[in-house]
Amino acid sequence: MAMDKLSQLKSMTTVVADTGDLEAIRRFTPTDATTNPSLILQAAQHESRRARMAELARESTDIDDAVDAVAVEVGSEISELVPGYVSTEVSARLSFDTQATLTRAHSLIERYERRGISRDRILIKVASTWEGIRAAEQLEREGIHTNLTLLFSFAQAQACADAGVTLISPFVGRILDWHKAKEPNADFSGQHDPGVQSVKRIYEHYKGHGYKTVVMGASFRNCGEIEALAGCDRLTISPQLLEELATTEGTLERQLVSLEAETSPPEPLDESEFRWEMNEDAMATEKLAEGIRKFMADQRKLEALLAELRR
């Protein structure tokens, strides 16, 4: 009997749901789930949540407090549906402030722990800026696991591995978007996809040097990108693409194979090297800045909604 591609993918890669939609999580039974400001906004806007959102808003000391309360509320509900990690993001507004990121991360973890949810179940999501990576390094020393997001460059991946972060989320689809805008007639299918190539390079570098950091491909535009990364440690996938995989039969071949570490890790990047490498990578520089702006745009919408509900 032919198997659907989602079932085959689950046999070689840990499947993560990229959503705050509880019904989708129940349906596709992922191991982990990730959220971000855009997904939290979508979840908060559901009419069924409105009364609870208003209650949280009124109980909060200010809008920042309300935003975190909503994120932890959604994350707590998700934690009851998945056996593994739930990712909750620190405000993108703090992407260039290490100390403020640490303070906010501690607050999020304390909120989860007050609900009886262990820090071992939570990944604190932080943008892969130099300042975010430094905050993640400190959090990992404290036993708080991190997910470094908005990752577009090899330099970001190197710095995250140097910092010993638990997991990185290299973006696939947004890299493809940038290249398609530059070369609209090029063939970017399958293994020609520059986002796929980026994740494969990072994966092979990590495995070849024995890094423990988990590689979780993210931001997919189509199932072809997912299939081209079958075998990656983790893949976080939207409900729409999970549905497509679940209803498609055919053989899914493993594309990424974990290698034995052959050499010790290279010397860590210092700040000037990191910033130079980012400066040399126009795509990564542009997409990181754009990603932070987009997350903040949705966070501002959430802040406006909660401010209205506080009245």
> What is the full per-residue pLDDT of the chain (311 aa) written as tens digits?
679 999 999 999 999 999 989 999 999 999 999 988 888 889 888 888 889 988 999 999 999 999 999 999 999 999 999 999 999 999 999 999 999 999 999 999 999 999 999 999 999 999 999 999 999 999 999 999 999 999 999 999 999 999 999 999 999 999 999 999 999 999 999 899 999 999 999 999 999 999 999 999 999 999 999 999 999 999 999 999 999 999 999 999 999 998 788 788 899 999 999 999 999 999 999 999 999 999 999 999 999 999 998 88
Is residue 148 within 8 A of residue 89, CB to CB? The reply is no
5 catalytically annotated: no
Q: Which of 120, 99, 119 is nearest to 108 (CA)?
A: 119
Specify the pTM: 0.95
User: Quick one: pLDDT at residue 48?
Assistant: 87
28: which 2 tokens? 């596709």
Which residue bears the tokens 């959090």? 139
Going from the N-terminus, what domains does the chain have, and what CATH number goes with each?
Answer: 5-310 (3.20.20.70)
Count CA atoms closer than 13 A to 171's CA, side-chain side.
22
Identify the active-site residue in 125, 200, 207, 287.
125
